[in-house]
Amino acid sequence: MVRPAGETAPANGSAVRVDVNTGPAASYTGLRETLSALRAEGADFGDIASRHPAEWAELFPAEAAPGTTPLEEIALAPSERRLHRESEQVYRALSVAAAALCAGTSQLGRPLLVSGIGGTDLSSLRGFMRAVEHAQVVEGAELLLHEPTSVRGTVGGHADYRGERVRCLRRMGLRVTEDDLVMDLGTERDTGFVPVSEEGELYLRARDGESSAVDRVAAALAYCRRAFFSANWEGMAAVADEALALLSGIPESRIPVLLAKAEPEQELVHAIEFETAILRGTADVRAFLFKVIGIQAGFRGDQDTAVACFRAMRDGADGLSPEIRAQSHLYSALTLSKRKQRLADAVAEVEQGFEVVRERQGEAESIRRERGWLHNLRGLTLFSERRLKAAFEHEKQALACMAGLTDASSAHLRINLYSNISVLQEKAGKHTSALGTWEKFKQATGAANAAFVKHHSYRSAGLRLLVGEREAALADLDTTLVNAAGLGDLFHETEVRLELGMLHATSGDTETAREQYEGAERVARLLGDPYRIALALAGQALTSGSVSASRAVAATAALSLTRPGDADALAKTVAEGGELTALLPKPRTKLNRPFDLINFQD
């Protein structure tokens, strides 16, 4: 449970007290402080660290066990290229931290009193939000908040995240507005922050007033890339803002030195986002920083600022590399395409991008790659207009652009193209062709990676159901379950078990359906999600007629902070003996889901 500490603080001082006013420098810092405080009091968190070694290594890098598989190899990252903010990696790290927090306070039998929550890093705040809901289903877990409306001063206009902080607090059950916030936690330089991660170290270097402008901007480039993967949008905005101001004082002749200093840091992240290899001069570095600011604005829902920043990448920028100018059009178009009323503007941006990277003899591979990304986006805009044949042609042109390219970004686009073509075939009603394309995708990519197999098998199952191959679909869904369980992926295991329950229930196999719903309940309790627990209980009530399960649905659904409306509708339907089929999940053709448990967006 959670409550403001000022109203109900323990009189005997038994609470474990922790101050998480740690600033925006590095994700998970506030959560680390909290878990360390619980551990200092004797909590060991049970088997959470051993069950989730990759996530624990993100939270406590120094404690990573030898041979631990990095989280980036088992969970999906956000995507710069697709402006996709959902991050399975961040979700898993925050969920494990929240579970450990609940386990720790329950073990100690003492409340956890958190102060300075308004001054913690944004990722940690989302983790505390997750912990509050998780605590609803953990006996003995109790979280108290001391002066939650106290916040720190903002670091630059683009890094003003007070609105997002209020949304997180409201998801914790606190009735607060932005007008209730009081900036009385000092500035971010007052925390005495000591970094325990590469992200934190880079932040300090990027903002070190004693260092040269060249060193600070070089560190800023590396920091923004690292922070992107931990969803530290606030830190990215703060650092990029300051780096833009510093860049004006750096001579063009020093840019090669700056880029050389930044490049080694890029080895810290084995991923393709925010590459620096195509940066060549001051205009490119400036555009890179505007791209950072635009992406974080878009991820927080400020699409107007995002478009302005993406267009600023090319405004008055003499000497801008064609690849960067093409990206300016790409990201502007991608943002505009998310609004149906701006689709024509999006298409105009794409066409301008094509002019920049028009095919020329002897062109660089990086030019051809950018043209491929533009063809892919043009295909997506045509798909939005239901012009499927024209969309398919642009996807084929994008694939042609990728011929012979082996860099990471090209491989990423090629994967997306196979997926997009299969989806286009599915939407056109050509389910057999969609399945065939999807199977070729598996052959081209390889099936050794469990995370890939998890996603691939799920879509294969959905398509097989559409073509009537039920037994093969069940085998694919079982493969997805096995790989999800092997990866410690509680979220997707819960989803698939819930869907299998309904699949078996609708075919009349109530015993197998009930077993799946029981399994879904077990995993959902580990996940700490009241809504999904309630779904599993409703499935059990449906398949077994269990009176106790029916009664438990309403009580459990009432604990949901993430999906209160859906939870209420579910509880009401069960109580009235209504039809549950429309409310219980069924298999789909793509496993991707929003990680709603940590999302604060309205």
Per-residue model confidence as pLDDT tens digits over 448-469: 688 999 999 999 999 999 999 9
Residue 7 has pLDDT above 50, yes or no: no
The pTM assigned to this predicted structure is 0.95
Q: With helix as H, strand as E and coil as C, how does 195-207 read?
A: CCCHHHHHHHHHC
Q: What is the pLDDT of residues 68-119, one digit of tens each?
A: 999 999 999 999 999 999 999 999 999 999 999 999 999 999 999 999 999 9
Residue 13 has pLDDT above 80, yes or no: no
Helix crossing, 303-312 with 322-337: angle to 10°?
A: 160
Residue 269 has pLDDT above 60, yes or no: no
Least confident of 135-139, 196-200, 555-559: 196-200
Mean pLDDT across 469-476: 98
Q: Confidence class of residue 12 from pLDDT cuts 50, 70 and 90?
A: very low
CB 491 within 8 A of CB 91: yes
Say which residue, 271 or 258, is predicted with more confidence.
258
Q: How far apart are CA 4 and CA 22, in angstroms?
A: 20
Residue 195 has pLDDT above 90, yes or no: no
Q: What is the pLDDT of residues 556-569, one digit of tens each?
A: 999 999 999 999 99
CB 76 within 8 A of CB 88: yes
- Burial code of 388-397, b = ≥16 C-beta within 10 A, e = fewer? beebbebbeb
Q: With helix as H, strand as E and coil as C, how does 288-325 read?
A: HHHHHHHHHHHHCCCHHHHHHHHHHCCCCCCCCCHHHH
The pLDDT value recorded for residue 11 is 46
| H or E element that contains 143 | strand 143-146
The pLDDT value recorded for residue 141 is 97
The mean predicted confidence, pLDDT, of the chain is 92
HSE toward the beta carbon, residue 249, CA cutoff 13 A: 10
HSE toward the beta carbon, residue 22, CA cutoff 13 A: 26
The pLDDT value recorded for residue 270 is 45
Residue 266 has pLDDT above 90, yes or no: no
The pLDDT value recorded for residue 268 is 45
Amino acid identity of residue 11, one-letter, is A
DSSP per-residue letters across 404-458: T--SHHHHHHHHHHHHHHHHHHHHTT-HHHHHHHHHHHHHHH-S--HHHHHHHHH
84, β-bridge pairs: 79
Q: What is the pLDDT of residues 491-508, one digit of tens each?
A: 999 999 999 999 999 999
Token pair recorded at residue 374: 């533009």
The pLDDT value recorded for residue 9 is 47
The pLDDT value recorded for residue 340 is 74
Residue 275 has pLDDT above 50, yes or no: yes
Q: Confidence class of residue 445 from pLDDT cuts 50, 70 and 90?
A: low
The pLDDT > 90 percentage for the chain reads 85
Instruction: Tell me what percent of the chain is helix, strand and coil, each rounded to the nearest 5.
Output: 65, 5, 35
Q: How far apart are CA 575 and CA 554, in angstroms?
A: 8
| H or E element that contains 88 | helix 88-108
Alpha-carbon distances of 246 from 159, 209, 218, 243, 265, rounded to whole Å: 17, 11, 11, 5, 19
Q: How far apart are CA 399 and CA 423, in angstroms?
A: 15
Token pair recorded at residue 230: 């931990």
Q: What is the pLDDT of residues 31-66, one digit of tens each?
A: 999 999 999 999 999 999 999 999 999 999 999 989
Residue 190 has pLDDT above 60, yes or no: no
CB 34 within 8 A of CB 45: no
**Largest interatomic CA distance in the chain:** 79
Residue 4 has pLDDT above 80, yes or no: no
| H or E element that contains 103 | helix 88-108
The pLDDT value recorded for residue 196 is 86
Q: What is the pLDDT of residues 363-411, one digit of tens each?
A: 999 999 999 999 999 999 999 999 999 999 999 999 999 999 988 888 8
The pLDDT value recorded for residue 406 is 86
Burial of 473 (0-12, 13-18, 19+ CB in 10 A): buried
Residue 1 has pLDDT above 90, yes or no: no
For the chain, give the number of residues: 602
CB 296 within 8 A of CB 158: yes
Mean pLDDT across 207-231: 96
| H or E element that contains 112 | strand 112-115
Residues in contact with 280: Cβ distance below 8 Å, sequence separation at least 6, in sequence order: 255, 321
Residue 188 has pLDDT above 80, yes or no: no
Of the candidates 483, 417, 486, 494, the residue with the CA atom closest to the CA atom of residue 456: 483
183, β-bridge pairs: 151
Q: Confidence class of residue 600 from pLDDT cuts 50, 70 and 90?
A: confident
Pairing assessment for the beta strands 143-146 and 150-151 based on DSSP bridges:
unpaired
Q: Confidence class of residue 8 from pLDDT cuts 50, 70 and 90?
A: very low
Token pair recorded at residue 547: 């009176």
Mean pLDDT across 149-171: 93
Q: Confidence class of residue 412 from pLDDT cuts 50, 70 and 90?
A: confident
Mean pLDDT across 480-490: 97
The pLDDT value recorded for residue 302 is 94
CB 196 within 8 A of CB 58: no
Q: How far apart are CA 130 and CA 55, in angstroms?
A: 15
Mean pLDDT across 566-587: 95
